[in-house]
A and B are shown apart, each in its own frame.
Chain A
Amino acid sequence: MATAEAHIDVHAHDDHHDDHHEQSFISKYIFSMDHKMIAKQYLITGIIWAIIGAALSAIFRLQLGFPEADLGWLRPILGKWISAEGALDPEFYLALVTMHGTIMVFFVLTAGLSGTFSNFLIPLQIGARDMASGFMNMLSYWFFFIASVIMLISLFIETGPASGGWVVYPPLSALPQAMSGSGLGMTMWLVAMVFFIASSLLGGINYVSTVINLRTKGMTFSRLPLTIWAFFLTAVIGILSFPVLFAAALLLVFDRSFGTSFYLSEIYIQGEALPNVGGSPILYQHLFWFLGHPEVYIVLLPALGITSEIIATNSRKPIFGYKAMIISMMGITFLSFIVWAHHMFVSGLNPFLGSIFMFLTLIIAVPSAVKVFNYLTTLWKGNIIFTPAMLFSIGLVSVFISGGITGIFLGNSAIDIQLHDTYFVVAHFHLVMGAASSFGLLAGVYHWFPKMFGRMMDTKLGYIHFWLTFIGIYSVFFPMHYIGIAGFPRRYYSFTNFDAFSGFTDLNMFISIAAIATFIGQFIFLFNFFYSIFRGRKAPANPWNSTTLEWTTPRVPGHGNWPGEIPKVYRWPYDYSKPGAEEDFIPQTVPFSQTMESNLPHENDEIALEKEMEAEEIVVVDANKH
């Protein structure tokens, strides 16, 4: 009965979404306001950036692994940055590291990940026709696009791109005399980041308001899939922290161009004493890391959300500790704002502050641990189907553990004295952030590809891709722990100047080979991705037998997502393998009144509420008729 009446519903209001008025190429593919198209734009742009970012790292890994090699063959791309003897320019080495970091953290794992999946999944999983503001959403992508273009051009300018590390600490980044990358390249970096921040904010505000306002009937916060919780909290973090990066960048612009002294004091460089006094480079570090630390969670949380969804689906089990997962994500969100100075233990920070931040930092390890235990328990006694997405999710949990563990060393300020700015830190954050988030991104693509493009990706290629990547990632980053414990500093062009750092040439070579092999392995994915868009097998509407709303849309959801009315939600998203139920999943749209055989006692009470809800609706519809 319920369904019959529901058909009248508010259908009338949404009619215009259903008829497919012809859209021009430009409004459909370029200046699109459809969240699904914008998601794809983000995804493709993110993929292009990922290739560029990885290629940069392949070049500097060549230098580190094979310092003696003749890189003359790279001259067609790198031009004057390769010396007459075929060696990489030391300053350009720093430019490569800097751009690699910036691209990967911001353009791939922030824009590529949140931009793709928040856009794609929020409306589909909460049951909305589109984002709260399609126009802002479009702007968000195009600001990102402008940022991308500027950042890309900066790679090719005469003086080289920004080269002060992805954190661009002043005074190095403020003084063009200090390195050539701090000239025009740095200006472009700052301008690009301003556009990027605007893009993130436009996106984030949209995600938050969409989740708050546009949930379909019955989709309470306690019935939201964990993906949505993750995207929601990520957007909140972004909205609160990106403006601080903007402030940091703005003050840096002032120092660079208008003679202010926010970050500069008592500097004598190139035979000249600068007039600036009273500024503090430490101020910049505080402002930067006030964004920088939350940023690492901006990168990570969406990946964790995606993983939660995929692990539950493919274990055919409810996610263990749904509430605990939400609470730990909220804990992480809150704590991520009060641990930033752990990046500054030996920056000259007041040691007392160091103690406080050590304490706060180690607290944040607790919710992280809780999440891991919950994932493990979800797998326990599951019925696990290894789709490529599931493999990447399991891989994510593994690298998250391995990288999270080293955070406990680094968060201890006494231990961090030795480890700070060594390869140990590089190992830590590449596993816990780089690898984990990339795995989340890849898992998400494999899992939602059928909904994005209506076709399936090739599974066998997915397996090959996963195992290559998983083994590759560990081969690259695990050995860095040893090099880091041995004290090797990061951002070093060469280690031959020091006896203390003269060992491990073999291990560095191994890492470089593994890194380049892993990079090449990604082309399997790229092939699979682009091939399947056009030639993949047609996907069923719900290929993974999943419970969430996006799988109730047609094979390729059109503008407005659902051809008829938006489905209503009656239950949480994790009713997998419910005892008594016939199938091993019950979609969120199935009312309890239809699943008497599997309802838990308290769920039977909900039936009355369902009835009330429907009764109300009829009243509304009647009222509208008059």
Chain B
Amino acid sequence: MFGFYIALAVFLVVAILLLIFRISRLVNVVKGTGEETTKSDNNFNAIMMVVFMVLFFGLAGWYSFANFDAYDPPVASEHGELTDKLFWRTMWITGIVFMITNILLFVFSYKYRYDKNRKALFYPHNNKLEYLWTGVPAIVLTWLVISGWMAWDGIMSEAPEDAEQIEIMGYQFQWSIRYGGMDNKVGDYDYRLIDAVNDHGMDMSDRANYDDFKNISLVIPKGKPVLLKIRARDVLHSVFIPHMRLKMDAVPGMPTQFWFVANKTTAEMRVEEGNPDFNYELACTEICGEGHFSMKKIVTVLEPEEYEEWKAEQKSWLSKNPDFMAQVPEDMKELALVTAGINE
């Protein structure tokens, strides 16, 4: 019934609008006016240009300042502070250009609205002006490129030797996280070895695997380089930790990586944000199917000492899944037992 009333209301509104339209057209025909742009129409549009500009800048300006904290997520990594600086620098420079050009557009539209007593200026070209506004943007952009390039170069450089190695693997629709363990080396894998238990496809003939351990969330130390070794086993995914300003695709068949240094612990951030429930989160930003929007991992940043403590407590994957000892080659069984911390 409700739907019927809505339909009826829509129908009536449309009918009334059509009627108004018909009548105004008939009036136009009688008055002999019509489609040509009349003076009052022209002035109306000219004024609207300015009204629009004022409203637009007013609202955008107000929102940008009033809600700054809502849309500017706090940054928690070293390189993130740098890219944020570049972002806001670019914002200032381009923001000014944005304002000036839009203002000129609307003000010119208003100021030079049609007047039958005036003739437009015949002004076909001016090469000096063209050089000027080719040159100046080119120089400013060069500056932006160079500062961006230097930042990029640093961020994408080789990870330091001592970086904590952590593997993160995306699959529909979860992340799985594996640590290098005592030797700080995530071991080899082969996708053909993947099964329900060995979801990373760890290859037991590589000794680096024996001490590897898994965890359901990403735990990392503050102030120490962390190297994320990123891969995917079914379709593309992408690792995104918004507060760390970190993003890198996870590609099946082509491991990628991203190293960074977190500089605020979860505890510190909870205080800073005044939110005792705050947690860093990791999301997927490459469309990967139905559950794309739900691939969440909690990221916990600990003080380095806390982190070492935590790490020492972790049990190796092999020790939790001793069945896989069967896959370890004969001559390495002894080593595996020791490294994995399996007590007989």
Contact = CB atoms under 8 A, between A and B. Distances in A.
B233 interface: yes
Interface string B105-148: 11011001111001111111110011001100110011011001
A394 B123 CA distance: 19
A337 interface: no
B125 A577 contact: no
Interface stretch (A111-119, A198-206, A262-270, A302-310): A262-270
Contacts of A373: 101, 129, 133
B71 A482 contact: yes
Nearest to A523: B14
B159 interface: no
A199 B34 CA distance: 40
A500 B122 contact: no
B24 interface: yes
B253 A281 contact: yes
A415 B83 contact: yes
B70 interface: yes
A418 B260 CA distance: 14
A386 B41 contact: yes
Interface in A302-326: 315-324
B8 interface: no
A178 B114 contact: no
Contact of A463 (B41, B141, B283): B41
Contacts of B249: 346-348
Interface stretch (B178-186, B292-300, B304-312, B327-335): B292-300
A348 B248 contact: yes
B37 A268 contact: no
Given A268-B234, A386-B113, A485-B72, A492 B292 contact: yes
Given A387-B37, A401-B98, A408-B94, A500 B252 contact: no
Contacts of B215: none
Given A267-B252, A500-B242, A500-B283, A414 B71 contact: no
B340 to A, nearest CB: 24
Nearest to A165: B287
Interface string B213-248: 000000000000000000001111010101101111
B37 to A, nearest CB: 5
Given A269-B234, A418-B242, A405 B145 contact: no
B48 interface: yes
Nearest to A344: B249
Nearest to A501: B283
A413 B125 contact: no
A87 interface: no
Given A369-B137, A386-B41, A471-B52, A418 B247 contact: yes
B152 interface: yes
Interface residues of A, number: 125
B125 A321 contact: yes
A172 B90 CA distance: 35
Given A376-B104, A385-B114, A281 B123 contact: no
Given A346-B249, A370-B133, A499-B278, A315 B192 contact: no
A94 B291 CA distance: 10
A362 B35 contact: no
A430 to B, nearest CB: 16
Interface string A344-386: 0011100100110011001101100110111111011111111
B206 interface: no
A579 B121 CA distance: 8
Nearest to B156: A351
Nearest to B42: A386
A383 B138 contact: no
B122 A577 contact: yes
A491 interface: yes
A319 B130 CA distance: 13
A420 B284 CA distance: 12
A413 B148 CA distance: 7
A265 B253 contact: yes
B41 A459 contact: yes
B290 interface: yes
Contacts of A576: 120, 122
B60 to A, nearest CB: 6
Given A178-B234, A379-B105, A351 B144 contact: no
Nearest to B98: A405
B87 to A, nearest CB: 5
Contacts of B104: 376
A274 to B, nearest CB: 9
A316 B118 CA distance: 11
Given A266-B252, A370-B134, A358 B63 contact: no
Nearest to A269: B234
A344 to B, nearest CB: 9
Contact of A179 (B112, B121, B156, B290): B290
B201 interface: yes
Contacts of B119: 316, 383, 577, 584
A504 B90 contact: no
A386 B129 contact: no
A267 B233 contact: yes
A618 interface: no
B292 A324 contact: no
Contact of A408 (B141, B201, B290): B141
A86 interface: no
B37 A459 contact: yes
Interface string A412-436: 1111011011100000000000000
B174 interface: no
Contacts of B233: 266-269
B205 interface: no
A402 interface: yes
A273 B24 CA distance: 70
Given A268-B234, A321-B130, A537-B34, A486 B73 contact: yes
A265 B252 contact: yes
A280 B254 contact: yes
Nearest to B132: A373
B37 A377 contact: no
Given A382-B120, A408-B94, A489 B285 contact: yes
Interface string B89-102: 01100110110011
Contacts of B294: 497
Nearest to A461: B21
Contact of A415 (B90, B114, B253): B90
Contacts of B121: 317, 380-382, 577
A127 interface: no
Question: Which one of B171, B235, B284, B288 has the greatest number of beta carbons of chain A within 10 Å?
Answer: B235
B176 interface: no
B133 A384 contact: no
A261 B207 CA distance: 31
B254 A383 contact: no
Interface in A472-488: 474, 478-479, 482-483, 485-487
A384 B109 contact: yes
A370 B249 CA distance: 35
Interface in B138-167: 138, 141-142, 144-145, 148-149, 151-153, 155-156
B267 interface: no
A463 B48 CA distance: 11
A218 to B, nearest CB: 19
13 contacts: A171-B234, A179-B290, A315-B120, A362-B141, A379-B112, A386-B41, A412-B90, A414-B151, A415-B83, A418-B247, A421-B240, A459-B34, A500-B283
List the 10 shortest-distance A-B pairs measured between CB atoms, nearest first.
A265-B253, A351-B156, A487-B242, A386-B45, A348-B256, A412-B148, A381-B121, A414-B151, A577-B120, A456-B35
Interface of B: 3, 21, 24-25, 34-37, 41-42, 44-46, 48-49, 52, 56, 60, 63-64, 67, 70-73, 80, 82-83, 86-87, 90-91, 94-95, 97-98, 101-102, 104-106, 108-109, 112-115, 118-126, 129-130, 133-134, 137-138, 141-142, 144-145, 148-149, 151-153, 155-156, 171-172, 191-192, 194, 196, 201, 233-236, 238, 240, 242-243, 245-249, 251-254, 256, 277-279, 281, 283-294, 296
